């Protein structure tokens, strides 16, 4: 037996409109209906019939059809009982409940498919007494149950009113329930029928409905119905909330889809989708590329991935940027080198004065390229003090050989991803600086300056200098791997030129890969030429004095260099010349004229009194003071070594911010003099009676190294013997306990510093003679060099 619950059911279950009698009292006014003691029984599979309610049912089982036909022929009454389990196809007596509803068959309709539809109306509840027959249909003895009549009970009236209100709210919240249902509810006056009508159409299970039917107390039935309605209302409200939320989300999706379709149509009208056009342009551009096989395969794979993706997806921009980088890189695209060696030499000479060693090395490289046609580029490293033109020399080299120029500043770099790139899946990922530079200049064989390679940082984020090992190794850099590019790139044709101030700061493994070319500071004569050829014309142009007829003579220029600068390079000189040009520009602006020749008085008026003086070194020294030569990262410098004796027990005191090596040099010098006192003309007893104090000005500047060894020994011998050190004399060299003099480095810088200071003689180790010979003879004219092997020779030359 199949039925269709009508009111408060899911949309899929609604097949009929609710049906009620025209007068709600008709259903329960059974006083004029004669109810027999025995009735045919009609089992209902999935609903409970309540008194007064009219429902249509589809009868399909043979027993049920026979029972309906039998009752329709007689008094049209039938006993309706619900099945305990609706899945049972052929129910027995045990499968039926004991309380049901006496129903009247209102209409019997034969269906075309052979089935029968019956419209029945509940009349009165009954109790099943016993089964009198099972064939051809169930027939049972029954006992009708009377309904309690309630008069003037306010609590019951309030409960019924609440039932009506809750039912009306549920109807309003449920879009699948017809609006007419609320009108029907308002027109029901009989409380008992209202309870039965609402109960019949309640969206509850069969068990709860059967409980309602079996309750004899109508008040309790109303209370239980009210409780079930409250649950149903909460469920309806939640369902409505979820439905509205889903509808809102769907509406937004539909709106977005609609707008996307409109946008697509507009783009097609304007000549196609922008993204599609870009992808097609990329494919067209790729056809002209000289791809390596691996790059070609990866590009094809990435383009296919891009075509499958929508432009609004997050990964689209990642893949697009990667493909764009591959297209921008100059795969196997090289500029043509100029092999005219004479012209290249001319360009180098015009841009930089001196630096013959570097110019020679570049011309050798060009000569091999010209003869062989192809070779791995050398990895050069220019080491020297600041301001001597190491970085600018790189640009001159690129101009000389006709290559593109790019500079990479490595100072303070602390993340190896800056060299090798980031994985492209990271937010903000970029290729490394090497690949970015190659992409920018569109050439695979540029001159690339790795500026300040000695100042690369190192911390927990990585060691960039280790990442540079691959870049700067000619045996490896033809397969340089960038993490972002995810491909190997050939850097073997790039001419790498590194610059550094202090080679000791470079990691040993990296230093081993570099071809070191030492650059020393400039002599006064070199600075004069650089100023005349480059600095003065540049500053005149920068200050608007290009067309002004005035000149700075060499003696005046020499005065500026000696009195206002103390450096190996020319940066400070450039700043002093800029100060002079500003003052001259002010004179032109205020007076409209300028002096044709700059004098020393004009320089002193503009720059002030001389900052440095050589007179200090020319004065006769007292006993115990010797002049040493030192090397610093800004070039050569002069050091005074002062020694003083005082009464005491022979203690040695060292001051002047000295490093460990320098302290050990002082101890070595004292030990040598103590062991060779009589040979040096020193009373041995003096070491027991006098305290010795060695001081090296300037006290705030840290000093270290072995090159002051012979200077300290000379200062000690001078103080202990009372003999003064020869004036205009400087010295440099390391001493040993045996009295040997060993060679030291930085000879050119030290000699030029002595020349700047006005010193005339220098004592050094005989093995340093080759270093002096490399210095231009014009720069050291008038200076005398003494080459020694032992300390005895030093003391003979130094002490008066």
Write out the DSSP string of 230-244. HHHHHHHHHHHHHHH
For the beta carbon of residue 145, count every other beta carbon within 10 angstroms. Answer: 17
Beta strands in 277-426 (DSSP E): 379-383, 405-409
Token pair for 422: 């980031």
**How far from 414 is each of 383, 461, 467, CA to CA, in Å?**
22, 7, 11
* Cβ(485)–Cβ(431) below 8 Å: yes
Q: In this structure, are strands 625-632 and 597-598 parallel, antiparallel, or unpaired?
A: unpaired
CA 557, 562, 564, 567 torsion-angle sign: positive
* Cβ(747)–Cβ(785) below 8 Å: no
What is d(CA 661, CA 777) in angstroms, rounded to the nearest whole number?
A: 33
- Residue with structure tokens 């020994």? 713
What is d(CA 498, CA 495) in angstroms, rounded to the nearest whole number?
A: 10
Strand partners, 787: 764
Token pair for 321: 């940027």
- Size of the chain, expressed as the number of residues it contains: 800
pTM for this entry: 0.58
Residue (of 418, 456, 458) closest to 434 by Cα position: 418
Measured at the alpha carbon of residue 655, what is the angle toward residues 650 and 658, in degrees to the nearest 5?
Answer: 120
Residues belonging to the active site:
707, 750
Q: In this structure, are strands 379-383 and 54-59 parallel, antiparallel, or unpaired?
A: unpaired
Task: For 103-134, give one letter per residue: b (16+ CB within 10 A) or e.
Answer: bbbeebeeeeeeebebbbbbbbbbebeeeeee
Q: Is the peptide bond before 698 cis (omega within 30 degrees of 0)?
A: yes
Please tell me the predicted confidence (pLDDT) of residue 9.
Answer: 36
Token pair for 441: 């200049």
Longest dimension (CA), the chain: 160
* Cβ(499)–Cβ(451) below 8 Å: yes
Residue (of 57, 77, 47) closest to 16 by Cα position: 57
Please tell me the predicted confidence (pLDDT) of residue 616.
Answer: 60
Please tell me the predicted confidence (pLDDT) of residue 273.
Answer: 59
> Burial of 596 by CB count in 10 Å (0-12 exposed, 13-18 middle, 19+ buried)?
exposed
For the beta carbon of residue 468, count every other beta carbon within 10 angstroms. Answer: 26
Please tell me the predicted confidence (pLDDT) of residue 763.
Answer: 93
* Cβ(786)–Cβ(795) below 8 Å: no
What is d(CA 780, CA 755) in angstroms, rounded to the nearest whole number?
A: 7
Task: For 237-271, give one letter per residue: b (16+ CB within 10 A) or e.
Answer: eeeeeeeeeeeeeeeeeeeeeeeeeeeeeeeeeee
* Cβ(126)–Cβ(99) below 8 Å: yes
What is d(CA 793, CA 670) in angstroms, rounded to the nearest whole number?
A: 17
Residue (of 29, 212, 195, 252) closest to 124 by Cα position: 29
Token pair for 216: 């004899």
Please tell me the predicted confidence (pLDDT) of residue 13.
Answer: 38
Strand partners, 635: 632
Spans of the chain, pLDDT less than 70 = 1-32, 175, 247, 249-250, 267-274, 373-375, 459-461, 614-621, 633-635, 699-700
Please tell me the predicted confidence (pLDDT) of residue 105.
Answer: 86
Residue (of 661, 638, 653, 654) closest to 734 by Cα position: 661
**DSSP, res 479:** G
**How far from 743 is each of 438, 761, 763, 764, 788, CA to CA, in Å?**
44, 17, 11, 8, 10
Please tell me the predicted confidence (pLDDT) of residue 68.
Answer: 81
Q: In this structure, are strands 77-82 and 99-110 parallel, antiparallel, or unpaired?
A: antiparallel
Element (H, E) at 559: helix 554-564
Q: In this structure, are strands 597-598 and 551-552 parallel, antiparallel, or unpaired?
A: parallel
Cα 17–chain centre separation: 66
- Supply the mean pLDDT for the chain: 81
> Burial of 349 by CB count in 10 Å (0-12 exposed, 13-18 middle, 19+ buried)?
middle
Please tell me the predicted confidence (pLDDT) of residue 615.
Answer: 61
* Helical H segments across 614-708, by residue range: 615-618, 660-675, 686-689
């Amino acid at each position: 037996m199949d039925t269709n619950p009508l009111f408060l059911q899911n949309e899929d279950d609604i097949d009929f409109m609710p049906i009620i009698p025209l007068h709600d009292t008709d259903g329960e006014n059974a006083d004029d209906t004669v109810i027999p003691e025995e009735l045919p029984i009609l089992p209902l599979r999935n609903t409970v019939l309540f008194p007064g309610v009219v429902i249509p049912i589809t009868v399909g089982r043979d027993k049920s059809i026979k029972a309906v036909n039998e009752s329709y022929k007689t008094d049209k009454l039938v006993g309706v009982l619900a099945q305990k389990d609706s899945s049972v196809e052929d129910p027995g007596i045990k499968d039926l409940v004991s309380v049901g509803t006496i129903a009247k068959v209102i209409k019997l309709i034969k269906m075309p498919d052979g089935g029968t539809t019956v419209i029945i109306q509940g009349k009165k509840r009954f109790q099943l007494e016993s089964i009198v027959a099972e064939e051809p249909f169930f027939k049972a003895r029954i006992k009708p149950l009377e309904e309690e009549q309630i008069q003037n009970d306010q609590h019951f009236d309030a409960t019924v009113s609440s039932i009506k209100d809750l039912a009306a709210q549920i109807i309003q919240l449920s879009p699948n329930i017809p609006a007419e249902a609320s009108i029907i509810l308002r027109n029901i006056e009989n409380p008992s029928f209202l309870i039965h009508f609402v109960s019949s159409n309640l969206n509850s299970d069969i068990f709860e409905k059967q409980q309602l039917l079996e309750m004899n107390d109508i008040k309790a039935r109303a209370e239980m119905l009210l409780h079930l309605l409250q649950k149903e209302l909460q469920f309806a409200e939640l369902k409505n909330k979820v439905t509205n939320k889903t509808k809102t989300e769907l509406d937004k999706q539909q709106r977005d889809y609609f707008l996307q379709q409109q946008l697509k149509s507009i783009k097609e009208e304007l000549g196609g989708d922008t993204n599609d056009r870009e992808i097609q342009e990329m494919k067209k551009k790729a056809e002209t590329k000289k791809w390596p096989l691996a790059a070609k395969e990866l590009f094809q794979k990435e383009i296919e991935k891009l075509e499958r993706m929508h432009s609004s997806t997050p990964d689209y921009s990642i893949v697009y940027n990667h493909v764009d980088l591959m297209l921008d890189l100059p795969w196997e695209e090289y500029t043509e080198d100029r092999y005219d060696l004479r012209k290249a030499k001319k360009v180098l000479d015009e841009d930089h004065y001196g630096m013959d060693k570097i110019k020679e090395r570049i011309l050798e490289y060009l000569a091999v390229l010209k003869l062989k046609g192809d070779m791995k580029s050398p990895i050069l490293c220019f080491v020297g003090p600041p301001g001597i033109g190491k970085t600018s020399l790189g640009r001159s080299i690129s101009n000389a050989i006709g290559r593109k120029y790019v500079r990479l500043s490595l100072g303070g770099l602390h993340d190896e991803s800056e060299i090798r790139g980031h994985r492209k899946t990271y937010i903000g990922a970029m290729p490394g600086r090497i690949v970015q530079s190659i992409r920018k200049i569109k050439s695979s064989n540029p001159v690339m300056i790795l500026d300040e390679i000695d100042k690369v940082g190192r911390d927990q984020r990585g060691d960039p200098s280790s990442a540079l090992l691959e870049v700067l190794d000619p045996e490896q850099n033809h397969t340089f791997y960038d993490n972002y590019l995810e491909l190997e790139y050939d850097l073997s044709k790039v001419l790498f030129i590194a610059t550094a101030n202090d080679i000791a700061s470079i990691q040993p493994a990296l230093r081993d890969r570099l071809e070191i070319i030492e650059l020393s500071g400039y002599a006064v004569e070199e600075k004069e030429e650089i100023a005349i050829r480059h600095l003065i014309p540049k500053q005149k142009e920068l200050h608007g004095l290009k067309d002004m007829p005035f000149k700075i003579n060499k003696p005046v220029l020499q005065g500026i260099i000696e009195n206002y600068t103390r450096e190996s390079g020319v940066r400070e000189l450039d700043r002093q010349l800029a100060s002079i040009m500003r003052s001259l520009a002010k004179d032109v602006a205020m007076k409209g004229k300028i002096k044709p020749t700059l004098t020393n008085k004009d320089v002193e008026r503009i720059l002030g009194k001389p900052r440095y003086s050589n007179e200090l070194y020319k004065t006769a020294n007292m006993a115990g003071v010797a002049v040493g030569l030192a090397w610093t990262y800004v070039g050569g410098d002069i050091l005074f070594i002062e020694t003083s004796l005082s009464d005491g027990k022979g203690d040695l005191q060292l001051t002047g911010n000295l490093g460990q090596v320098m302290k050990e040099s002082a101890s070595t010098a004292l030990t040598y003099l103590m062991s060779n006192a009589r040979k040096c003309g020193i009373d041995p007893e003096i070491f027991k009676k006098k305290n010795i104090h060695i001081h090296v000005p300037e006290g705030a500047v840290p000093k270290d190294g072995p090159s002051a060894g012979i200077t300290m020994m000379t200062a000690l011998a001078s103080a202990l013997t009372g003999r003064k050190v020869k004036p205009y004399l400087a010295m440099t060299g390391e001493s040993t306990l045996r009295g040997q003099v060993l060679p030291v480095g930085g000879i050119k810088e030290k000699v030029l510093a002595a020349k700047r200071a006005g010193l005339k003689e220098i004592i050094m180790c005989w093995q340093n003679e080759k270093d002096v010979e490399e210095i231009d003879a014009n720069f050291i004219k008038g200076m005398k060099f003494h080459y020694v092997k032992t300390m005895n020779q030093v003391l003979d030359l130094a002490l008066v």
